Amino acid sequence: MPIKNFHQIKPHIGPCHDGDGLVRVAEVFGKGDLQTPLQFIHHTVLPPKATIGLHKHGNDEEVYIVIAGSGVMEVDGVKTAVTEGDTILNPPYGTHALYNTSDTEELRIIVFAAKGAGNPQKPAKPKPEEIVNKLLEGENLARARELIAYFKENKISTQWTNTNTWKAMKKGEGVCYIRIGLEPDTAGACYVKFKDPGDPVKGAWDVQAEVPSFNDAGGYEEIQRNQQLFDLLCEKVRKCTNCGNKKKCAPGVNVTLWGRELINRCKFTGIPFVNPNAEELPCVMKLIDKRLQAMNNR
């Protein structure tokens, strides 16, 4: 019967996943000892103020069991206080970190992980509410959650199209696009870059409102008559920035939105709102409301 005492095992001592401090990791059982998808069992000790750095896993599931001390566990961008007896499940393809917040006490945990079965593939086509906490923070996170709640209230579905991009739809028709976790300097362009999900610096987001016609303001007369709102929309119509999609896009063109000429705009003429704030998000919702009303009147 294989029995080992982790107090008697010489630990590896050093930074863990580029975290702070010198963490002690004793391997109780390794892959060569195990006959199942279980990968290892470790006894890990974090000295005061030490951390297991934020890191990302692949197709495996890892469990932390706190056996002494207390700290803060971060899983997919959400931080939670943990103490003795708490057991934390770290899901496949997620990011996580552990922080010993004590100035005087060690934080001791048991760690084990099991490899997933089948081909290691990322979960396909996530919903925006499943990843928004990982990729946004602060007001950006609050506004994105507000828009997602608006979608649910109005029974608008979100259809995944590609990396962190969704088409919001009602009755089979698109009403807007949302993109989450963008490199800030590319947000709003037709050609964007996405941040690494494991990057502790959160990204930007944008929502591109759809209007059925730039030439006909039918159904949108209320918005057109609101000078402040109409000025905002005209300002938001995407300007050509030679963003990199040159084969399909650049150079820019002049377009007309409901009678007003706009100079040097992208040929992909949506109305993007980058990191919409508390004043701009209601404008997005008003555009969607008008689109829904037009669909219901048909």
CA distance 290 to 48: 56
3-state secondary structure of 292: helix
Kind of pairing between the strands at 173-182 and 70-75: unpaired
What pLDDT score was predicted for residue 199? 64
3-state secondary structure of 37: coil
CA distance 166 to 110: 39
What pLDDT score was predicted for residue 35? 84
Decide if 277 contacts 144 (C-beta within 8 A).
no
pTM of the predicted model, to two decimals?
0.54
Decide if 51 contacts 43 (C-beta within 8 A).
no
H or E segment at 20?
none
Domain ranges of the chain: 6-115, 128-297
| CATH entry, 6-115, from 3.40.50.620, 3.40.50.150, 2.60.120.10, 2.60.260.20 | 2.60.120.10
What pLDDT score was predicted for residue 175? 86
Q: How far is CA 39 from CA 3, 54, 91, 135, in A?
A: 17, 20, 15, 29
Ordered per-residue pLDDT tens for the chain, 298 residues: 588 899 999 999 999 988 899 999 999 998 888 888 888 999 999 999 999 998 887 788 899 999 999 999 998 878 899 999 999 999 888 889 999 999 999 999 999 999 875 455 555 578 899 888 888 889 999 999 999 999 999 999 999 888 788 999 988 888 888 989 887 776 666 556 776 665 666 788 988 887 666 566 666 777 778 787 777 777 777 666 665 444 445 566 676 777 777 776 665 556 888 899 988 898 889 888 888 887 777 6
Decide if 19 contacts 51 (C-beta within 8 A).
yes
Task: Tell whether the torsion through CA atoms of 258, 261, 267 and 268 is positive or negative.
Answer: negative
Token pair recorded at residue 5: 């005492």
